[in-house]
Amino acid sequence: MMKLGVTLPLIDIGGEPGTVRAFAEAAEEAGYDYLGAPDHVLGVNVAGRPGWGDRNTSADLFHDPFVLFGFLSGCTSRIGFATEVLILPQRQTALVAKQAASLDVLSGGRFRLGIGLGWNEVEFVGLNEDFHNRGKRSEEQVEVMQALWAEPHVTFAGRWHKIEDAGINPLPPKRRIPIWFGGHHDATLRRTARWGEGWIMLSYPPDETAKAEFAKLRRYAEAEGRDPGRIGIEVWVSTGEGDERDWRATFSFWKSAGVTHVTLNGSYGRYHHRRIEGRTLDAHLEALQRYRSAVGDLL
């Protein structure tokens, strides 16, 4: 059975406690399986950067996802939580492992950790992390986190990390937290095939190009000795694209292509994605209700 999620449109609706709680409760009541949230720590002041383009700035609101989901886990009882995506290499690895484990415990095992590499060098500089080795360093970060979640004490000596017989407490209930990789480069597919439980795919529209990338991921998984059928695939959709008939057709295409998670995101407008016209809480609540009604029988 496919999973249906919805991203918190914080950039549009704001981040007041009552607002995010109302959105989360409505999504849970409508039958959504999980809530997604993006991540940025620092946003640039574009006043001195006239060529910045359409990337995120300091005007865009991003709650810290661990704090946000910790709050919402107390407001809900069933719906899951997913970072989409946490910029892992701009953070201390053991601290992320600790935060993720704490959230997983407090939410009753409802957390999925989506990770990415980031694109904003300003953030990395401000957080005292190296922007230029973030890809390779993130691979070691995943190994460290998986070790810290699995055992009470860890000894690890890598290129960027050294732990001497120490561990985090609490540990996640299942001694693991699902890690999903976001990105569209070949290296992302290879990392997903080796370590990930899923791939968050945004770049390709519902056509043969996406199917070709899915096939590539499955080949990489087989080369790693893993069962490709156990690696999930997530895509994003929006009610800003067509009407109910179109939404059903797109959903059916993704289902036939082997997608396991479909996330409704009405505030994302890059690549082939389209934002919804409304920017209010009511507009986004209407969108999530309409989409769930349109595709619910296809799950």
- Per-residue H/E/C for the chain: CCEEEEECCHHHHCCCHHHHHHHHHHHHHHCCCEEEECCCCCCCCHHHCCCCCCCCCCCCCCCCHHHHHHHHHCCCCCCEEEECCEEHHHCCHHHHHHHHHHHHHHCCCCEEEEEECCCCHHHHHHCCCCCCCHHHHHHHHHHHHHHHHHCCCEEEECCCCEEEEECCCCCCCCCCCCEEEECCCHHHHHHHHHHCCEEEECCCCCCHHHHHHHHHHHHHHHHCCCCHHHCEEEEEECCCCCCHHHHHHHHHHHHHCCCCEEEECCCCCCCCCCCCCCCCHHHHHHHHHHHHHHHHHHC
pLDDT at 63 over 90: yes
pLDDT digits (tens, 9 = 90+) for 72-89: 999 999 999 999 999 999
Boundaries of every domain in the chain: 3-87+107-121+172-298
pLDDT at 61: 97
pLDDT at 126: 98
Average pLDDT over residues 279-290: 98
pTM (predicted TM-score): 0.97
What CATH number was assigned to the domain covering residues 3-87+107-121+172-298?
3.20.20.30
pLDDT at 1 over 90: no
Average pLDDT over residues 192-221: 97
pLDDT at 134: 98
pLDDT digits (tens, 9 = 90+) for 5-45: 999 999 999 999 999 999 999 999 999 999 999 999 999 99
Mean pLDDT of the chain: 97
pLDDT at 159 over 90: yes
Average pLDDT over residues 58-71: 98
pLDDT at 54: 87
